[in-house]
Amino acid sequence: MSLTIFITICYIISSVLFVIGLKRMSSPVSARKANQLSAVGMLIAIVATLLTRGMMEWQWIAFGLAVGTGIGILAATRVAMTSMPQMVGLLNGSGGLASFIVGWAAYHYQPESSLLTTISTYLAVLIGGVTFTGSFIAWAKLEEKFVTGKPILFAGQKIVNSLLLGALIVGGIIFCLHPDPADNYPLFVAIMVLSLILGVMVVIPIGGADMPVVISLLNSYSGMAGAATGFVIINSMLIVAGSLVGASGIILTRIMCKAMNRSLTNVLFSGFGSVTKKAASEVKGEAKAISVKDAYYVLEAARSVVFVPGYGMAVAQAQHAVRELGKILENNGAEVRYAIHPVAGRMPGHMNVLLAEADVPYDQLFEMDAINPIIDTIDVAVVIGANDVVNPAARHDKSSPIYGMPIINVDKAKTVFVLKRSMRSGFAGIENELFYYDNTRMVFGDAKETVQALIAEFKSV
């Protein structure tokens, strides 16, 4: 068997493993094995690529592998689950930066190329640059470092962004028609700089509440940048892998937008989160607090309980305590479920990952569309750190920025416990009228400590 045929077979095997892994990622039951399959596929692809290039400078390859492996292990073991959205954002940005640098290097060292390669180089730099700086800003907004998590808006912002995009399109056309570095290297550098600026400009007007959508979109961008880079360096495996990431990211973005009943255009350009939140005095009713002991009495008598987690559960690291309380309630004769909103948390699947970490049975996880039809039969709904995804204003208040967004209708349960530190609004900065409903009781305090106190009450009997 020739080396070329062997490498082609390796690429085919890798592609199949990627597709199977991506498919199996759709279920929590098979997600871990899916990651392992994809990792094996990537290893095979890397080895085959090194064989294609004759092992190149193996010292640098070994150095890169060692550094990358070290960073990956450190991140996997040290990064808290609350910081996972930020980590995903940085990983997206790293992919964009890699494509950006490869496109630059290819043009710098191999300027003589076909029109297809020239166009691919332009796209790799453009999409890679936008992905890199856009992901960095998304990380900064989530971490609330350097920039605020709220939208940053200024007069004429859309005009500025349109001019930037127009300049990049016109510059790209000129560059692709005349790519000779002797004439247009300054133009290429200008395209690189403008792409980095555009990445910043398109993300700063987006509010923190829309970060799940932004992260999935940037993930798609990183895949498209990778696919473009594959055409630059003529690597079919990179084209396949990038296309898979790009397509899956777009599909996930569409799912996220549908879950919020908003278009992608609205997410990117509406400045959601910059609105003034409603004052508590405008919401009818009065918030009613309840002690842990009184909450215990209600839960002890409940025959059906649904937990609705949000980012507050991640912050409090309460998932293991919630799982323990769920077991106790099951032993007490209650039917326990966990309801997950598609955009709960700060990245797609954030709550699913947390609950999987706590070994919550997969058959107890219910999506929004599955739990809403039976929510009125639930004795107690326990909202743990969720806010905007359970706000009834989304159903009837046309003045609310989240009007029309599908929510988990916890207000229709017989009793609702809301575990929060205070009456502060959620990440979107919107007052939650659920807190003032007659069937709602506020249990103030750290979510983990509150759940552990409830567990102690059950165990003291």
Q: Which residues are catalytic?
A: 388
- Token digits for 442? 């506020």
Report how far Cα 19 is from the mean position of its chain's Cα atoms. Answer: 21
For residue 228, the one-letter residue type is: A
Q: Which residues contact 247 (CB under 8 A, 6 or more apart)?
A: 220, 223
- Token digits for 17? 């493993």
Nearest Cα to Cα of residue 217 among 203, 231, 200, 201: 203
Q: Which residues contact 303 (CB under 8 A, 6 or more apart)?
A: 333, 334, 335, 379
Phi, psi for residue 443 in degrees, rounded to 5 = -115, 100
Distance CA(322)–CA(334), nearest Å, equals 14
Nearest Cα to Cα of residue 15 among 212, 352, 244, 249: 244
Q: What is the 3-state secondary structure (H, E, C) of 306-324?
A: EEEECHHHHHHCCHHHHHH
Report how far Cα 147 is from the mean position of its chain's Cα atoms. Answer: 19
Three-class secondary structure of residue 140 per DSSP:
helix
Phi, psi for residue 429 in degrees, rounded to 5 = 75, 30
182-190: which pairs have CB atoms within 8 A and are 24 or more residues apart? 188/107, 188/125
Distance CA(451)–CA(379), nearest Å, equals 18
Report how far Cα 243 is from the mean position of its chain's Cα atoms. Answer: 19
Nearest Cα to Cα of residue 362 among 351, 352, 372: 352
Half-sphere exposure of 221 toward its Cβ, with a 13 Å CA cutoff? 29
For residue 33, the one-letter residue type is: K
How many Å is the Cα radius of gyration of the chain?
Answer: 25
Phi, psi for residue 93 in degrees, rounded to 5 = -65, -35
